Structure formats: C-alpha cells, structure tokens
Amino acid sequence: MAIHVRRKGKLMAERRKRMIISSLLSALTVVILGGLIMYFIVVYFSKEEPAEFITYTPPPENDDIPKPPTEDPSSSRAAAPSPEINPAVIVSTSVSTVVMARVDVDVPDFGVGNGLGEGDGMGFDGSGLGSGTGKGNGKGDGGGKGLNDDVQVVLCLDASGSMDELFVEVSDSLNMLVNTMTRCRLNGKKARVNLGIVVYGQAMDNGAPRVLTPFTTDVKSMRSKLKEIQCDGAVEPCGEVIDFALNNFEWNMRDRSDILKVIFLAGNEEFTQGSLDYRTAMHKAKRKNIIVNTIYCGLPEEVAMSDPQAREWADAASLADGMGLFIAMDGSPAGVPDDAKLLAAAKALWEVPVMAMGGPNAQERCMKEYAQRPAIPKKQGDVNDWLAENSDLLVHSYDWDLVELCRRYEDEFSLELIGGPGNLPKELRGLGPAEAVSRLQDAAETRSKALRTYMNAAGAGTGFCGKALRALRIQAQEKGIELKS
C-alpha cells in the first residue's frame, strides 16, 4: 500500500506541473495574439489625415481704426497655405506637416533642410519641409526667406570689365523696380515678393557667380552692395550662372500655377561661355517653372536682332519661356533717372494730402504720426539715399490713409469698407455719402497721377529696370498677378 500511494502522488504532481505549463503557454499565446490585434486596430484607425493648418492671429490692438475687409481664404489659394502666413506660426493638427506637393528634383539641388516647425525634412537649398523630431541641416543661402513667396525675382548681373554702367543704372533705378514689385496683388490681396541679386564675371572669382544679396526687399542694403562692386574680368559663364541662381535661392516649389519666379540674366559676351551647357540650365529652370529672361547690354533694340551675338541671347531665353531684351550701353545710360526730375516728382507725391479714417482718437494719433514724417531732401544728390529709406512710405502711404485705400479699390470703394460714414475724416463727415465718396475719388486720382509721374521719373523705361518691369508685367499677367505702376 505504501508503494502504491507514493506512485499516485508522483503522478498527480506531474499532472499538476503539465497543467501549469499548459496554462502559462495558453496565457502567453492570448497576450501575443491580443497585442497583435490591438496593434492592427491602432494602425488602422490612426491613419494620418491631411494636415490641417491653424494660423495664429495676433489679438487686435486697442485701436478704432477700421481695417479693410479681407477675402475668404477658401475662395483663393486653396492649394496651399496663404503666403501671408509666417511659417513660424503654422501649427499642424496632424501627426506630421506636409505643405509641398511632390516635385521632380534634380540630384544636385536636393538637400536636407530645416523643416517648418521642428523636424528632419526634405529641403531645397537649405529651406526645408519636415515632420518628426530633431533638426535638419540645409545647404545654400537665403536666410529662411522665399518659401511662401508669390513673386520671386533674381537679377544676375555681369560684373566684368565693361559693365560699370550697368551697375550704376541698376543701383539708381532699383527703387522703382522694388516698389513696383511690392505693389503686386494676387486674388485681391497684396502678394508676397522678394528680390535677390547675383554677380558674376569678376576676376577675383575667376568669373564664378556669387550671391550679392539673398531674397529681400531692402533697397538700401541692395544699393549699398551694388556700389561696392568693382567691375573687372572677362569670363561670363552664362549656363553656370543660371544653374547657380536655381540652386542658391529658396525658390517657392509649391504646386501652384499662380507663382511667378523669374531670373533676369544681363551681360554682353557670348552666351556659350563656361563649362556647363546653357541649354541644360535653361531646361532645368523650365522644369522648376522658373522663367529666364535675358538682357543683352550694348545694342538698342532696333538693331540688336541683326547682331548674331545679341540674337543668341534672345534665342536662349525662349528655352525657359523667357523674353530676350536689349539695352543700349553708350555712356549715357537711358535707364538712370534724372535727379532733378526725380526729386520734383517725389516732392509732388509727398505733398498729396492724406486723410485719416477711424474714430476721433485714432485720427488724432494718425495725424501726429503724419506730422513726424521725415523731411524730403532739398539737394538733388541726396534724393536716392532718401528714397532708399522712405520710398515704401512714399509709394504706399500710411495704413490709415483713406485716400490711398480709395485709390487701391478704385470703383469698388464704398464707405462700408471703413465701417460707415462715422469713420470719415472730419472734413468729409458733414457731407452726404455720395459727395464724400466723390471727394475721396478725386483725391485718389490726384495721388495716382503723382504716383505715375514719380514712377516714370524713377524708371525712364528704356534701361535695365524699365525693361525688366515691362517683362514682369506681361509674365505676371499670365499668372493672374496684377502688377501696377
């Protein structure tokens, strides 16, 4: 009996051991299967939705100046966030942020850049789009500007020994070019614009191109840099210059048909110089939807097309949907404004009366600001430096100027834009609505005439900037962008 009891106990122990092991294996199997099921459920229900953007709008200041109405964002630029939005205040409500459509990228242009927000991202010449964590390192210049621009223009200027006249002309006419560019409007809104400058052909660089100024609208800075250029050398590698401009600016590469991106290449030697075939560079520009206009310096337009070298420049421009332009270089640059006429035109525009809109307190503050405006120079030689500081105010006037608001809206102007007759200036408040609008339209027409006179005096029309603006107007119109004088 004793032996039998011991065998039975041993069998019971082994049976319990097998049951425990079986239970543990079953539990482990359940945990693994449950984990896999949960994983697939989470993956399925957490598929990333398209990024939604929340734009930060600063709280309104305590100010009773009425603001002009803005358009419904859903009515325009639906394909991308508004270019008015600073990337620093874009927030994504999704797992990652994607604001650029897929584009074809040439290998030399590909870089890893700083993303919008934080993240490793795919960037173009040092400006990137990213999602995730960490920081990216980009290549190229540009200072973070350009990704949201509606209008981007790069001037590529030949700084070889025969081109001193070109730099004098561009420097003296730059106010007109930049101020006209900054008047671009897209879908009824002020377009975001930037201009950059490349110089090439200098002996110190063996003719190689370099960025003189990245994208900016700072006329004073650009003029200062232009005046530092010492023209010398002879090599003018046009293909390499175009390729350099494509690679070293933060071009807006979003998939929008209403973005205007233009390169102006100015020079006066054979277009075929350099190790890179210019046709390769032109085709690359076209793939990026960047127009390349050429400006051959040295012959007036009426004789340029009979010159084989000048004709070569015009033919090259057609490869990138550009225009072949010509300017004379005969020692008396037609594009340089006459300081006496420029000063007179600036004074006439500066003296056009302004009218403050809003409540009494706002109007009082505005007129105090107006009284503190800088005095216009008395000497002709000082006009360009003064304009470099104040031309934006001269051309665009004040945010609160009712005359300028009426001029911009033209026939569409109404008192509803300013919140009704109660926000009219005191000199118009006693009039009926129709008479008040009529007085404002008369004042706006006076300002328009003075502005046209100033822009003509600043541009002269037949020089580099005048020809460049003529081409920009045509090319902007094709993109649905309004570029007024």
Distance CA 458, CA 460 (A): 6
Query: What single-letter amino acid sits at 249?
Result: F
Task: Map tokens 């421009």 to a residue.
Answer: 317
Work out the end-to-end distance of the chain between its first and last CA atoms, rounded to an integer number of angstroms: 119
Cross-strand partners of 154: 196, 263
User: Which 8-state DSSP code applies to residue 125?
Assistant: T
CB 297 within 8 A of CB 158: yes
Show the beta-strand stretches assigned E in 248-374.
260-267, 291-297, 324-327
Predicted local distance difference test score (pLDDT) of residue 65: 54
**Of the ranges 1-5, 98-102, 345-349, 380-384, the best mean pLDDT one:** 345-349
Backbone angles phi, psi at 90, to 5 degrees: -95, 130
Model-level pTM? Answer: 0.55
- Dmax of the chain from CA atoms? 133
Q: At what angle are helices 402-409 and 433-459 packed, to 10 degrees?
A: 80
Structure tokens at 305: 């097309």
Record the tokens describing residue 195, joined without a space. Answer: 């201009």
pLDDT at 83 (0 to 100): 37
If 0-12 CB within 10 Å is exposed, 13-18 middle and 19+ buried, where does residue 361 land?
exposed
Least confident of 144-158, 385-399, 463-477: 385-399
Q: What are phi and psi for residue 196, nearest 5 degrees?
A: -125, 165
Cα separation, 70 vs 355, whole angstroms: 21
Tell the residue number behind the tokens 């896999």, with chain if given: 36
Distance CA 47, CA 189 (A): 36
Alpha-carbon gap, residue 445 to 451, rounded angstroms: 10
Q: What is the pLDDT of residues 107-138, one digit of tens each?
A: 333 333 333 333 333 333 333 333 333 333 33
pLDDT top residue among 16 and 51: 16
Which tokens sit at 472? Answer: 């920009």
Q: What confidence score (pLDDT) does residue 66 get?
A: 59
**Which is more confidently placed, 17 or 97?**
17
Positive or negative, the CA dihedral 433, 434, 439, 443 is: positive
Sign of CA dihedral 277, 283, 285, 288: negative
Is the pLDDT at 151 greater than 90, yes or no? yes
- Residue 118 backbone dihedrals phi, psi, to 5 degrees: -110, 145
